[in-house]
Amino acid sequence: MSIVGAVMVPHPPLAVPEVGRGSERQIKETLEAMREAARFVNGLKPETVLVISPHSPSFRDYIHISPGDGAAGSFARFGAGQVRLAVRYDRQLVEAIAAAAERAGFPAGTDGGGDSSLDHGVLVPLVFLRDEAGGELPYNMVRMGLSGLDYKAHYRLGTLVQASVNALGRRVCVVASGDLSHYLKDDGPYGFRPEGPAYDRQVMDVMGRAAFGELMAMAGRRTDRAGECGHRSFLIMAGCLDGQAVHAQALSYQDVTGVGYGVCLFEPLGPDPARCFLEPAKAAAMDQHAGRSPHVRLARASYEHYVRTGSMLARPQGLPEELLNTRAGAFVTLHQHGDLRGCIGTIRPTKDCLADEIIANAVSAAARDPRFPPVTEDELPHITCSVDVLGAPEDIESTDELNVLRYGVIVSKGSRRGLLLPNLDGVDTVEEQVDIARRKAGIISLAGARLQRFEVVRHH
């Protein structure tokens, strides 16, 4: 079978009556929506439920999947130790996901872990699932945490989960546990920030439309300032539904406690290639070299050859005409486990053809980016690569002529010049884009500076 459904739910302990002791009545709409979400999951008759929780064991650069036969937990830390649940783990699916991650060079598995008891991010949804199932959970479970890796990495793990589920033929439901902003009210537990309500409105809109590409693109300071704890949970869930048409339904949203609680249902309707939001990651998970553009294949061959031999790669035979008959500036960007590992490029062409431009810049990105030590041979299986081919820069009069998703920017003043590519993770506004380019150049003020924009063709 496959992923048969998914839900996005919050995890306020006060939702459990023994913890809330009456205060749960203030989130009545959320409780009703969580019961409906539980009925939705149970009605799909899954064999396994995957629960993703921000309060499960987590690491900066590794996503932990709980090992073993099962686990238990209670609400003792919330004064209700009598409320206790135990679950059986689907060991075969856990092992399949861990093996898929290892094959893909992705940092996830059953290593580490610490406290194995179930956390409240898992327990709260399970209480509703248990109660709506008549007092006993009729399925096995997989428990997964989050990490400090970027948004795309969490989405990518979801695609590996999907592939593992399909390979085993399981009926699996995904429960993405997470609260929204914690900064919604002056008298709330964390106070107020204007980014909080804005974030919650955007997430509920995005999830209500199953616009998972937009969810992945939300990374940035404004999202960080919102103080959410569920975004990466939602992204793993979204990755589990990658390549599927999805019917989404936003059931409820409340902010009465100063923390945002949103509940949404997601029902896959069948394959839809237009909804593959992370094609490069999916290709990498299926085959280390299949599906890459010739630009990326050339870049990878160039830096791998240099790292292994210390010599430049000779221009290969049989390259496409575009690489041989075009001259253009190009940037080669390397990532490792979602983090930047090197980026070097040229604004204008410096070589006889684009192929030579890519070869030279790929080597520089791996070995000569002053921000990083040279890439080692042991790192090569974990490096991903993209190539940006730059269009000709054009002068602009003001930042009004920029678009952070479409155009890169060049800021020049005297002999100083700074460049920033378009559509980068964490750069959400033109103001941020220009400011980063200015600071890269060491330009103190934009007064008298020259602004240029350029378009790129990005190859993954």
Q: Check pLDDT > 80 for residue 115.
A: no
The lowest-confidence range among 119-123, 158-162, 275-279, 315-319 is 275-279
Helix axes 354-367, 294-309, angle to 10 degrees: 50
Q: What is the pLDDT of residue 373?
A: 96
Answer for the pair 50, 10: CB distance below 8 angstroms, yes or no: no
Q: Higher pLDDT residue, 113 or 332?
A: 332
pLDDT tens per residue, range 8-58: 999 999 999 999 999 999 999 999 999 999 999 999 999 999 999 999 998
Give the percent of the chain with pLDDT over 70.
96
User: CA 27, CA 23: separation in Å to the nearest integer?
Assistant: 8
User: CA 432, CA 425: separation in Å to the nearest integer?
Assistant: 12
User: CA 52, CA 449: separation in Å to the nearest integer?
Assistant: 48
User: CA 314, CA 445: separation in Å to the nearest integer?
Assistant: 43
Q: Check pLDDT > 60 for residue 287.
A: no
Q: Would you place residue 292 in the very low, low, confident or very high pLDDT band (cuts 50, 70, 90)?
A: low
DSSP string, 237-265: HHHHTTTEEEEEEEEEEE-TTSS-EEEEE
DSSP string, 93-144: HHHHHHHHHHHTT-SEESS--S--SPPHHHHHHHHHHHHHTTSS--SEEEEE
Q: What is the pLDDT of residue 384?
A: 87
Q: Would you place residue 172 in the very low, low, confident or very high pLDDT band (cuts 50, 70, 90)?
A: very high
Question: Considering the chain, what is the average pLDDT of its residues?
Answer: 91
Residue that is written with structure tokens 């999805």 in the block: 246
Q: Check pLDDT > 80 for residue 320.
A: yes
Q: What is the pLDDT of residue 405?
A: 83
**Sequence-ordered list of residues with C-beta below 8 angstroms from that of 323, at least 6 positions apart, any chain:** 294, 295, 298, 353, 354, 355, 358
Answer for the pair 388, 329: CB distance below 8 angstroms, yes or no: no
**Where do the domains of the chain lie, and which CATH numbers do they carry?**
3-284 (3.40.830.10), 286-459 (3.30.700.20)
Q: Check pLDDT > 80 for residue 321.
A: yes
Q: What is the pLDDT of residue 282?
A: 39
pLDDT tens per residue, range 226-280: 999 999 999 999 999 999 999 999 999 999 999 999 999 999 998 888 888 875 4
Q: What is the pLDDT of residue 276?
A: 85
What is this structure's pTM? Answer: 0.64
pLDDT tens per residue, range 61-104: 899 999 999 999 999 999 999 999 999 999 999 999 999 999 98
Q: What is the pLDDT of residue 424?
A: 81
pLDDT tens per residue, range 439-460: 989 999 999 999 999 998 888 7
